[in-house]
Amino acid sequence: MAASAAKIVVRGLAKEFADRTTGRAVPAIGGLDLDVLAREFVCLLGPSGCGKSTLLYVLGGFVSATAGTVLIDGKPVGPPGPDRGIIFQEYALFPWLTVLDNVMYGIRGAASPAERRARAEALIAKVHLNGFEGHYPRHLSGGMKQRVAIARTLAHDPDILLADEPFGALDTQTRTLMQEELLRIWEADRKTILFVTHSVEEAVILADRVVVMTARPGRIKADIAVPLPRPRDYDALVRDPVAIELRAELWRLVKEEVVRARGAG
Amino acid sequence: MAASAAKIVVRGLAKEFADRTTGRAVPAIGGLDLDVLAREFVCLLGPSGCGKSTLLYVLGGFVSATAGTVLIDGKPVGPPGPDRGIIFQEYALFPWLTVLDNVMYGIRGAASPAERRARAEALIAKVHLNGFEGHYPRHLSGGMKQRVAIARTLAHDPDILLADEPFGALDTQTRTLMQEELLRIWEADRKTILFVTHSVEEAVILADRVVVMTARPGRIKADIAVPLPRPRDYDALVRDPVAIELRAELWRLVKEEVVRARGAG
Amino acid sequence: AADPPVIRIGWSVPAQTQHYVMMKKPGILKHYGKAYKADWVNFPGSVAIIQAIASKNLDAGGISIVPLARTIEQKAANLKIVADMMSERKGGFQTTWVTLESSGIKTIADLKGKTMGVAGYGSTTDLLARAILRKNGIDPDRDVKRVEVPFPVMESAMRKGDIVAGELAQPFYANAKARGGIRELFTAQEVLPVLPLLVEAFTAEFMAAHPQAVKAFLEDYVTALDFARDPKNRDEVVGIVAEVSKLPRDVLATFLLTPQDYFMSPDAMPDVEAIQKTLDFLKEGGVLKTQLDAKSMVDVSLHPRAKR
Amino acid sequence: MNGAEEAAGKRRAARIGGATIVIAVLALWEGVSAGGFVDEQVLPRVTVVAAAWWELLLSGELPAQVASSLGRQAAGFSIAVVVGVVLGIAMARYRAIDDFAGPLITMILPIPKAALIPLVMLWFGIGDVAKTIVVFLGTILPVVVSAYHAAGSVDQVFLWSARSMGDNEAQLLRRVVLRAALPEIMSGIRMGLIISLIVLVGAEMLAGRGGIGWLVFYTLDTGAYRVTYAAMLTIAAIGFAYDRLFLAISRRLLHWVEQE
Amino acid sequence: MSAAAARPAWRALLRLRRGYSVLLVLAAWETASRAGAVNTFLLPPASEVLVNLWNLATEGRLLFHLAESLLRVAAGLGLAVAAGIPLGLWKARSRLADAVLDPVMAFWFPVPKVGLIPLALLFFGFAHGSKIALVFADALLPLVVATYHGALHTDRRLIWSARAMGDSERRILWRVVLPAALPQIFTGLRLAVTVSLLVVFLAEMVASSSGLGHVMIYALRTLETKDVFSALVTISLIAFLADWLVIQARRRVLVWHA
Ligand SMILES: Nc1ncnc2c1ncn2[C@@H]1O[C@H](COP(=O)(O)OP(=O)(O)OP(=O)(O)O)[C@@H](O)[C@H]1O
Ligand SMILES: Nc1ncnc2c1ncn2[C@@H]1O[C@H](COP(=O)(O)OP(=O)(O)OP(=O)(O)O)[C@@H](O)[C@H]1O
Ligand SMILES: [Mg+2]
Ligand SMILES: [Mg+2]
C-alpha cells in the first residue's frame, strides 16, 4: 500500500517518559510503524502497559513523540483538533456537566440549539441512557459513564476516531449492542477508526485489520487482515472456521508477548 | 442451605439514591436476596447500571441500604473494616503513594517493615509489575493501575473479598494469568469471594455459583451453580459441553435483561 | 539594695520632646536607673495608651486631654495629671487652619459650600474647628463638606484641589509654609486661648505605691525639659527628634524649639485653669457628659517645681 | 527546536518580561514623583526611598526591625498553619466541631485586628505573645477555610479504601485526608504566608517595641513616608523570598499531583 | 400527623445548633463584664452593646454608614473577582503568563496596603474610590491564588477531551479549566469576602468620613466604647451573612461536586 494513500502514517515512532523519581527514561513505544487507510477499521491488541494508549495520545496530538514521524492526511500530526475524536480509557467526562450537556459539548457547526439538543438526545438513546440526561457523571455507574463518553465523542462527529477500550466496562451483551451501533455509524459516516481492545473476539468482529503490539516498549508484532465478510454475525462467527483460526492466532500472538513481558518483568 | 450457615446473608435489600437535581429517588437495588457461603466463590453478572457496584458498597459498609437486612457472619453489617476487602471498579489508588507504598498500605499486624515490604514485593511480582515499585499511579497504564489495586487489596488479606470487575482493563491473556493467581489465593487462604464481572466466560471459569441480576432496580434473576470440577482449564472449557451450555444460558439471561432495560430506558 | 521600680510609660509622636530627650539621653538624668527605671513603649496615640493603662499594661504616659477626660469621666482608670507637656497658646504654635493664597477664601464665612479637610473626626482639633465654624455662622455638618484627610496628606490634597482648606499641625505646617502659597485662616485661639495639648499622667495606684520613683522621674523630666529648652542644645535635640520621628532633620530644624513649636511651659506645671476651661468647652460641646473638676484631676504633690 | 530548549527559551523570555515590568514600574514611580504628578511628600521618589533604605540598612535599624518581626511572624504563621489545618480538617469531618467553630470563625476573623487590640492587651498584654496572637488571627483564616473545603471534598473511594484496609480514624486523617487535601491546603498556606506579613503592621501597631510593621505604621503617622516605602519594599522583598521558598517546598510535597 | 407537625420546631432547633457557640460567646462576654472580670471600659456588657446597636440602627445613622461600607466592598470585591479569576486562570494555563506574573505578584501581594492609603487618597479620591481600590488590591490575592491552584491541577484528560472536540485554548479556559477550578474559586471567594470586609474597615479607620470603620474610629477617639463594639458587632453580622450567602451560592453552583 502506498504511504501517500494512507490516512494515518506512523514511521519509527518512539516515546519515552521521563521517570522523575529515578531519573531514568521509561520507553513506552520503541520504533513503531503503522499505516491506517482512510475508512479503515483497525483494532489494536497488546499486553497491558505496552503503549497502546500512548500511541493514541500521540496520534491525537496530546503528547509529542520522542522520535519518528506521524502523518495524518499526509501532513505532520498537529495539535489536537476536531478531526480526531478520542474516547479515553478512563472516560474523562466533565463532572460539572450533566449527561446531556456532556454529549452536547462537542456538537458544533451551524446547528441550532434545538437541533444540537435533538442530536445529543438521539445519541444518548443510542447508548441506552434515555432518562439519565439530567444526571451528573458521579451519579452514574462505571458502564454508564463509559457510554456517555462514547456518545460525546460520536456527537462531535470526528473524521478519525481513536477509541481506547471504549467498551471495557460494559457487560458482553450491552457491548454487542454498542458494537453494532458503532459499525453502523462507521459505515454510514465513513470514518477511520483505530480501536484499542483487550478482547480478541471484539477485534475479530469489528476490524478490517488487527494490529498486535509487542510488550513494552511497544512495536508492531503482527498486522493481520480479517478476511471475514460484513455484516458479521456474532453467533455465526463463533462457529466460523476462519474466525476460530484467527482468534487462536491472535490469542497466541498476544500470549507470547504477555509471557515475554512477564519474563522481562 | 440454612441462612445461619451462610457467611453473607442479604434479605430484601433495597437502595435508592436521592437525585438532587430532580428531587426524585433513583432506585438502584429493589429487593434483593442473596446468600454466600463461607469460602464460596460467587460471580455476579448483570447489565450495566443494574446495581452491582452498589451491592458491593452496601456489603462493604460504605453506603447504607434503604431497606432490608445484610448479615455478615450472622451479624448486621458494620462499618467498613479489614475483614472485607474491596477492589473498586475505578481502582482508587492513592495518587500520592508509589506502587510499593500503595500495596504496603494495607499490610498490618505484627509484621516488621522488612517483612511487610517483602510481602508487598511478592504481590507486585504476582501481578507482574516488578520494576514499577517506585512509580506513582499517574505514570501507569490503565491495566497496570488495576493490577496495583488488586495487589493492594490482596496484600491486606481480607476474609471476604469484594471485587468489582477487577480484570476489566486487562488483556485476555494477562487476565487469564490473574484469574489463575486469584484462584490459587482463594484456595490457599480460603477466602469468600463475591466477584462482579462482565464476562460470562470469566464467571464460568471462576465461580462456584453465578448470580445474574435483573436490570435496574437490581434483583436476583437467576442463581446458578457451576457444576464444573476444579482446577478448570481454559482451553478444555472452550469445548466442554456443560460449560458451553452454561455460557449460553448465562448469555441468554443477561441478554434478556439488557433488552428489557433498553425497552424501559 | 532592691531593684528600683520600673515605670511602664507610653509615648507617641509628635510633640513629646521631653520624653524623647529622656529616652535618648539617659546620661543627663540624675535618678534614672537608681530611683526608678523606665520601660518606654510607643503607641499610635493617646487612645491606645489609655487602653494600655486600663488593661494594666502601663503606669503612665503622655496623653492628650480629650481621651484623658473621657477616661476619668467613665472611671476607666484613676489617672492623675502630674506635669504639663505641651500646649497650644500664644507664644507657641497653634494648630492652624489654612487655605491656598489662590483659593479665594478670605474669611471663615467663605467656606460655605466648600470641602475642607479634617485630620481626625472626633479629635480635639476637630471639636475646636466645629465650634469656630459655628461661631462664624457656619453649620459644620450642613454648610461645609468635611472629609477626613491624614495630616501628612493635607497639604497635597489642598494643592491638588481636593479640599480648599485644612488643618495643619507641626511639622506639616512648617513644611507647607516653607513651600509657600499658604495662608492662615484661623486657629483655636478664638475659642480656647490656652489648650493643654498633652500632659504627663500617672495612675494613682502607681503614685501611691512608688511615690519616690515618681518624684525622681519628675525631677528627671524637668531636667530633660531644661536641657531641651537650652539654646545650646538645640542642634542635639533636633537630632534626637529626627531620630525618633524619622523625619528629615532640616524640616524639623525650621520650627523645633522656636516660637513656631508647641509651647512647653518652663516650669512644667499643669495649667489647672486652662484645663478647667477645656473641660468646660468639652462639656458644652457634648463630648463630656458630666462636669469634671480640673483640680481633682491634677496631682502635683510630687512635682519638683510645685509651690508648696 | 526541542521541548527543553523551547521551555528554556520561554523561561528566559519570562524572566526578561518580569524584569521589564519591575523596571517599568520603578521608572514610572520615579517619573510620577519627580514630574510632580503626585506630591513628592506623599510619594517620595524611588531614589529617595532607596537612599532611605540604604541608610536604615547601614544604621542597623532595618536588620534589627526585620529580625524582631520575623520571629513573631514565623511563630504566628506556624501556629496558624498547625491549628488551621487541624481545625479545618476536624470541621470538615465532624459536624459538631463545624457547628461550634464555623460560626465563630466567620464572625470573629473579619473583625479588624486594630479594633481587637484593647482586648488583646487586656488578655495577653503588649508583648510578643500579644503580637503573635494578632498575626495568628490574621493568618489562620485562609488556612482553615482551605483545609475545611479540601478535606470536605476528598474523593470518597479513597476514604472507603483506607477504611476497608483497616484504618482507624486517626490513621485515616493522617494517611488519607491530609494527603488528599494537601494540594488545596497548600494554596491556603501560600495565602496565609503572604497575609502573615501584611498583618505584621496591625500586630505591631499594638504597642511599639520595633518591628518592620511598626516602622510602616509609625512613619505613616509621622509623615516620614520615605521610610514607610522603604519598610514596605522590605516586606515585599521578604514576601517574595518566602514565596519562592514556598514554591520549592510545595513542588516537593506535591510532585505526585497531575499537571498537564 | 404528629411528625409533620413537630417538624418546624425541630428544624428551628437544628438551625440553632449552628449558632449556639455564638450565643455561648455572647453569654460569656456578658457574664465576664457584668461580674467585673473585665474592665467594662474595654469590654462593655454584650446586652448594653446590643441595645446601643439597636438605638444606633433605629436612629438611621448606622444604616447610612453600613450602606457606604457595603457599597465599597461590593465594588472592590466585584472588581477583584472580575480581574482575579481570569488572572488566576491565565497564570495557570500559560507558562509565559506564569513566569511573568509570578514574581510580580509575589512582590506585590505582601505589600501592606495600609502604607498605600495616602497615595490611594490622592489618586482615587477621598470618597469611595480610595477604599474601593484598597479592597480590590487585597481581595485579589485569595482569588488569584485559589483560582491558580484550582486551575493548575485540572485533570489533563479533560483538557485533552475539549481540545479533541475542537476547543481553542481560550475556550478551554472558560469551558473546562474554570469549572474544574470552581470548587477552589469558591474557597477563594469566601476568603476574599472576609478580606474585603477587613480592608474596607481598616481603610475607613485611617481616613474616611463615612462607613462603619469611620463610625468605629470616631467612637474610639472619643472613647465611646459601646459605639466601638456596636460597629464591631455589625461587622461580625455582615461577615456572617456574606459568608452564608457565598456558601449557599457554592452549594447551588457545585451540585455536581462531592
Ligand atoms: N505519564 C507517564 N509517565 C511515565 N510513564 C508513563 C506515563 N504514561 C504511561 N507510562 C508508561 O508507558 C507505558 C505504556 O503505557 P500505556 O498507557 O500506553 O499502556 P497501554 O498499552 O495503554 O496499557 P493498558 O492496556 O494497561 O491500558 C507503561 O509502562 C507506563 O508505565
Ligand atoms: N451516587 C449515586 N447517586 C445517584 N445514583 C447513583 C449513584 N450511584 C449509582 N447510582 C445509580 O444506581 C444505579 C446502579 O449503579 P451501579 O454503579 O451499582 O451499577 P453497576 O451494576 O455497577 O453498573 P456497571 O456495570 O455499569 O458498573 C445506576 O443507575 C446509577 O445511575
Ligand atoms: Mg491503556
Ligand atoms: Mg459498577
Q: Return the residue matching grid coordinates 489495586.
A: B149
* Number of other CB atoms surrounding residue A2 within 10 Å: 7
What are the E-state strand segments in chain C? 6-11, 37-42, 60-64, 79-88, 96-100, 115-118, 145-148, 165-168, 182-187, 195-203
Share of chain C above pLDDT 70, in %: 99
Q: What is the pLDDT of residue E2?
A: 41
- Look at ligand 1, atom 30, and give the residue with the nearest C-alpha: B140
Interface test with E, best of A53, A96, A123 (most E CBs within 10 A): A96
Hey, are the CB atoms on D256 and B84 less than 8 Å from each other?
no
A209 band by pLDDT with thresholds 50, 70 and 90: very high
CB B165 within 8 A of CB A171: no
Q: CA-CA distances (angstroms) from residue E114 to B36, D216, E136?
A: 70, 9, 13
* Number of other CB atoms surrounding residue C183 within 10 Å: 13
Hey, are the CB atoms on A254 and B173 less than 8 Å from each other?
yes
Q: What are phi and psi of D59, to 5 degrees?
A: -70, -10
Q: Return the residue matching grid coordinates 429487593.
A: B31
Q: CA-CA distances (angstroms) from residue C67 to B57, C70, C96, C292?
A: 69, 5, 21, 13
Residue A213 in 3-state DSSP? strand
Q: Within chain E, which residues score under 70 in pLDDT?
A: 1-16, 258
| pLDDT tens for chain B, residues 1 to 265 | 444 578 899 999 999 988 766 677 888 998 899 999 999 999 999 998 899 999 999 999 999 999 999 999 988 988 888 889 999 988 889 999 999 999 998 887 767 888 889 989 999 998 989 888 988 998 899 999 999 999 999 988 899 999 999 998 898 888 888 999 899 999 888 899 999 999 888 999 999 999 999 988 889 999 999 998 888 887 788 788 888 889 889 988 988 888 887 765 4
Q: How far apart are CA D231 and CA C246, in angstroms?
A: 12
Residue C47 pLDDT more than 50? yes
Peptide bond into B217 cis (omega under 30): yes
Nearest CA to E172 among E93, E96, E100?
E93
Residue A3 pLDDT more than 60? no
Full strand arrangement of the beta sheet holding B67-72? B25-37, B6-18, B67-72, B75-76
Ligand nearest to the CA of A145: 2
CB D160 within 8 A of CB B80: yes
Q: How far apart are CA B82 and CA D74, in angstroms?
A: 42
Ligand 2 centroid vs B25 CA: distance in angstroms? 13
D194-231: per-residue pLDDT in tens?
Answer: 989 888 887 887 777 688 888 888 888 888 888 889 99
Residue numbers in B near A257 (CB within 8 A): 173
- Chains A+C touching (3+ CB pairs under 8 Å): no
Mean pLDDT of A97-105: 92
CB B17 within 8 A of CB B129: no
Min Cα–Cα distance to chain C from D101, Å = 28
Nearest CA to D245 among D132, D108, D77, D118?
D77
Q: Collect residues with CB below 5 Å from ion ligand 3.
A: A 53, 89; B 141-142
What is the residue type of E240? F
Q: Measuring from each residue's beta carbon to the nearest atom of ligand 2, which residues come in under 6 Å? A: A 139-144, 169; B 17, 26, 28, 46, 48-54, 89, 216
Is D54's Cβ below 8 Å from some Cβ in E?
no
Return the C-alpha cell found at C279. Answer: 473641660
Hey, are the CB atoms on D218 and C172 less than 8 Å from each other?
no
Hey, are the CB atoms on E41 and C162 less than 8 Å from each other?
no
Q: What is the pLDDT of residue B265?
A: 44
Is E169's Cβ below 8 Å from some Cβ in A?
no
- Of ligand 1's listed atoms, the one at least distance from the Cα of A26 is 5
Angle in degrees, CA C242, C244, C247, rounded to 5: 40
Q: What are phi and psi of B9, to 5 degrees?
A: -125, 120
Ligand nearest to the CA of E156: 1
Work out the widest C-alpha separation in chain E, in whole angstroms.
Answer: 71
Peptide bond into B231 cis (omega under 30): yes
Residue E146 in 3-state DSSP? helix
Ligand 4 centroid vs A148 CA: distance in angstroms? 15
What is the residue type of D112? P
pTM (2 decimals)?
Answer: 0.90
- Of ligand 2's listed atoms, the one at least distance from the Cα of B56 is 18
CB C227 within 8 A of CB C237: yes
- Of ligand 1's listed atoms, the one at least distance from the Cα of A46 is 21
Residue D21 in 3-state DSSP? helix
Nearest CA to D219 among C13, C26, A245, A14?
C13
Ligand nearest to the CA of B145: 1
Considering only the beta carbons, identify the residue of D145, D232, D242 that sits closest to E115. D232
Hey, are the CB atoms on C48 and D208 less than 8 Å from each other?
no
Q: How far apart are CA D172 and CA D167, in angstroms?
A: 6
Residue D259 pLDDT more than 70? no
- Look at ligand 1, atom 22, and give the residue with the nearest C-alpha: A53
D68-100: per-residue pLDDT in tens?
Answer: 889 889 999 999 999 999 999 999 999 888 888
The ipTM estimated for the assembled molecules is 0.89
The secondary element (H helix, E strand) that includes residue E19 is none
Is C141's Cβ below 8 Å from some Cβ in E?
no
Residue numbers in D near B105 (CB within 8 A): 162, 165, 175
Nearest CA to B174 among C122, A260, D44?
A260
Residue C34 pLDDT more than 80? yes
- Please tell me which residue of chain C has the smallest CA distance to D205: C44
Tell me the CATH number for domain D44-259.
1.10.3720.10
Return the C-alpha cell found at D107. Answer: 464572625
Q: Three-class SS string for chain B?
A: CCHHHEEEEEEEEEEEEECCCCCCEEEEEEEEEEEEECCCEEEEECCCCCCHHHHHHHHHCCCCCCEEEEEECCEECCCCCCCEEEECCCCCCCCCCCHHHHHHHCCCCCCCHHHHHHHHHHHHHHCCCCCCCCCCHHHCCHHHHHHHHHHHHHHCCCCEEEEECCCCCCCHHHHHHHHHHHHHHHHHHCCEEEEECCCHHHHHHHCCEEEEECCCCECEEEEEECCCCCCCCHHHHHHCHHHHHHHHHHHHHHHHHHHHHHHHC
- Please report how the helices E95-108 and D225-253 are oriented relative to each other, as an axis angle in degrees rounded to 10: 130
Min Cα–Cα distance to chain D from E110, Å = 5
Nearest CA to B136 among A129, A19, D198?
A19
Nearest CA to E88 among E139, E130, E133, E162?
E139
Residue to substitute in B43, B53, B91 for testing ligand 2 pocket (most ligand atoms within 8 angstroms of CB) = B53
Ligand 3 centroid vs A164 CA: distance in angstroms? 7
CB C25 within 8 A of CB C55: no
The secondary element (H helix, E strand) that includes residue A235 is helix A234-239
What is the residue type of B28? A
Hey, are the CB atoms on A96 and E179 less than 8 Å from each other?
yes
Q: How far apart are CA B4 and CA B6, in angstroms?
A: 6
Chain centroid offset of residue B138 CA: 24
Ligand 3 centroid vs E240 CA: distance in angstroms? 49
Hey, are the CB atoms on E164 and A82 less than 8 Å from each other?
yes
Q: What is the pLDDT of residue E10?
A: 62
Torsion-angle region of residue B152: left (phi > 0), alpha (psi -120 to 50) or beta?
alpha
Residue A27 pLDDT more than 80? yes
C287 band by pLDDT with thresholds 50, 70 and 90: confident
Min Cα–Cα distance to chain D from B237, Å = 35
Ligand 2 centroid vs A171 CA: distance in angstroms? 14
Hey, are the CB atoms on E42 and C70 less than 8 Å from each other?
no
C98-152: per-residue pLDDT in tens?
Answer: 888 888 888 888 878 888 888 888 788 888 888 888 888 888 888 888 888 888 8
Mean pLDDT of C45-70: 87
Residue numbers in C near D42 (CB within 8 A): 152-153, 156
Average pLDDT in chain A = 87
Ligand 4 centroid vs B219 CA: distance in angstroms? 15
CB E184 within 8 A of CB E149: yes
Q: What is the pLDDT of residue E12?
A: 62
DSSP per residue over D31-83, as a string? HHHHTTSS-TTTS--HHHHHHHHHHHHHTTHHHHHHHHHHHHHHHHHHHHHHH
Q: What is the pLDDT of residue D198?
A: 86
- Please tell me which residue of chain C has the smallest CA distance to E128: C147
B183-200: per-residue pLDDT in tens?
Answer: 999 988 889 999 999 988
Q: Dihedral sign for Cα C282, C288, C290, C295, please.
A: negative
Residue A230 in 3-state DSSP? coil
CB B35 within 8 A of CB B100: no
Residue numbers in D near B94 (CB within 8 A): 158, 161, 176, 179-180
Return the C-alpha cell found at D148. Answer: 475545611
D150-196: per-residue pLDDT in tens?
Answer: 999 898 889 988 888 888 888 889 989 999 999 999 999 999 999 89
Ligand 1 centroid vs D260 CA: distance in angstroms? 16
Question: C259 versus D85: which is more confidently predicted?
Answer: D85
Residue numbers in A near E163 (CB within 8 A): 61-62, 79-81
Considering only the beta carbons, identify the residue of D162, D164, D176 that sits closest to B60. D164
Q: What is the pLDDT of residue B150?
A: 93
Torsion-angle region of residue B27: left (phi > 0), alpha (psi -120 to 50) or beta?
beta
Ligand nearest to the CA of B261: 2
Ligand nearest to the CA of B164: 4
What is the residue type of C136? N
* Number of other CB atoms surrounding residue E184 within 10 Å: 27
Ligand 1 centroid vs E151 CA: distance in angstroms? 25
- Look at ligand 1, atom 17, and give the residue with the nearest C-alpha: B141
- Look at ligand 1, atom 13, and give the residue with the nearest C-alpha: A28
Residue C74 pLDDT more than 80? yes
Residue D3 pLDDT more than 60? no
What are the E-state strand segments in E151-251? none
